[in-house]
Chain A
Amino acid sequence: MLELDDIHVSYGQLPAVRGVSLTVGEGEILAVIGANGAGKSTLLKAVAGQLPLSSGAIRFDGVDVAKLPAFRRARAGIVMVPEGRRLFKSLTVEENLQIALSTKRSGPWDLERVYEALPIVAERRGRLAGDLSGGEAQATAIARALVANPKLLLLDEVSLGLAPVVVGQIYAVIPSILAQGTSVLLVEQDVQQATKAARDVHCLLQGRTSLSGRDLALDDISRAYFGA
């Protein structure tokens, strides 16, 4: 469903992603791992439309989306949970979710369904998003993305800054997301968490693919992660 074909992304003069290709099928989950600065988040931002490609193609359901601005990609079903949550601090939790209705997409995830899947968000629906703790904010950010009814959900470092227990709670939601037919592309620094959530792993090192495959051995992954 998602196909990245030899994409290159640069920050100005600095090349951050240098020729990465990968695919994610319908209802599948792929974890992109790598050290800090390996280019993982850059990759995700390029898929979401926040960064332009210097070359290569991004195909979503066979259609090249590289020319589409971010908001149109969201309406097409590519929804990202950005790094650092990026909640609208002056809006309430519920209002944050309602913003995602702008994608105007139909699907299984309406407000009630999302509240069922993430009770921690339901309990705080009237609170200002700026007053939430890290875990509550992360759950809210995911809830917001779900309200958009994504076909492809992009998760950017959702475990960052959260206690392990909370991270576990966040990741517990993923199976139900996959069950609805949504694909997930997640970026994670925590290798253990990534391999627990996804059998397919794609490892980046300095912007290039160092290893990819299914059910990989931890030793192989470590080597690919740090570069040996």
Chain B
Amino acid sequence: MDLLSALLQGILLGGLYALFATGLSFMFGVMRIVNLAHGALAVFAAYGVLILVRAGITNPLLALLIVVPLMAALGYLLQRTILQRTLTESPLPSLLVTFGLSIIIENLLLLTQSANQQRLSLGALDTASISLFGGIRIGVFPLCVLIFTLLVLTALSLLMRKTQFGRLVRAVSDDPDTVALSGASPKHIYGIAAAIAFGLVAVAGMANGVQAGFNPTSGGLLLIFAFEAVIIGGLGSLWGTLLGAMLLGVVQTVTASFDSTLFQFAGHLVFFVFLVFLPNGLIRRKVRL
């Protein structure tokens, strides 16, 4: 029963990891940018929520309603001003710039915030749980996060397939110059895509803030988990990322139930195994790397 409980928790944890991973793989899919600042941005957003909560907006969800649009705007701005210049043939500039950004953000937080572990609280929701069969309980908040992630993935999927914006995004990753000839600004599309990615990472950061807590240096591990979920699931597939995230979550929680000090390593190991033996991930899709 313990194992089953761990399994279920892992699936729910996968929901959170998938939320992280979606922003990362969306930016890569559209602009070929691997945003090494992804984790740091999540933590940055979490601190944003924390600051607003301390300033009087006691409900983190309300604070999130302010932080998400701000982060989205930040994403658009960063893309149009800085990241746009790194979209050259070589992947080096974007890697160096996003890595630089992650260091700047992390140290900014270290400088201005306490180094202590912080946690966002939604009151009773933090620890509320539902009872399932056989005495197994699952957390309400993690379940909400999973449901939210499923909604986000569905919405993104529909956006990409059915809307003009989605068509433009798919076209721009094929041929940005011809998109311009067809009357749409590729730079603007990239900006919106970045805004979406930043908005998503803000929600993920807040969710992580409630579920696990955070400190100024938490960003690195979050980036790694998001990245592992993407690789295990398979590049280029939104739903594959969800599967990969769930597998990662399950491996971590099941391992933790045996030995809590091994959970990170177990996740890394599974990622490594996939890398060596199943480099296309769970859902193979032809992707131009």
Residues of A within 8 A of B (CB): 48-50, 69-71, 74-75, 79-80, 82, 86, 88-91, 95-96, 98-105, 144, 148
Contact = CB atoms under 8 A, between A and B. Distances in A.
A80 B170 CA distance: 20
Nearest to B288: A90
B168 interface: yes
A91 B167 contact: yes
B132 interface: no
Interface size class on chain B is 10 to 19
Interface stretch (B40-48, B103-111, B173-181): B173-181
Interface in B173-220: 173-175, 177-186
A70 B185 CA distance: 8
Contacts of B175: 86, 88
B171 interface: yes
- 8 smallest CB-CB distances across A and B, nearest first, come from A103-B183, A102-B184, A74-B183, A102-B183, A70-B180, A88-B171, A86-B178, A71-B180
20 contacts: A49-B180, A71-B184, A74-B181, A79-B183, A80-B181, A86-B175, A88-B174, A88-B178, A88-B179, A89-B174, A90-B170, A90-B173, A91-B170, A91-B171, A91-B174, A95-B167, A102-B164, A102-B179, A102-B182, A104-B183
Interface centre among B164, B167, B170 (most CB of A within 10 A): B167
Question: Of residues A48, A82, A95, A99, which shows the largest number of chain B Cβ atoms within 10 Å of its Cβ?
Answer: A99
Contact of A102 (B168, B170, B174): B168
A213 B167 CA distance: 43
B279 to A, nearest CB: 22
Nearest to B171: A88
A49 to B, nearest CB: 8
Contacts of A90: 170, 173-174
Contacts of B179: 71, 88, 99, 102
Interface in B145-164: 164
A70 B181 contact: yes
A68 to B, nearest CB: 11
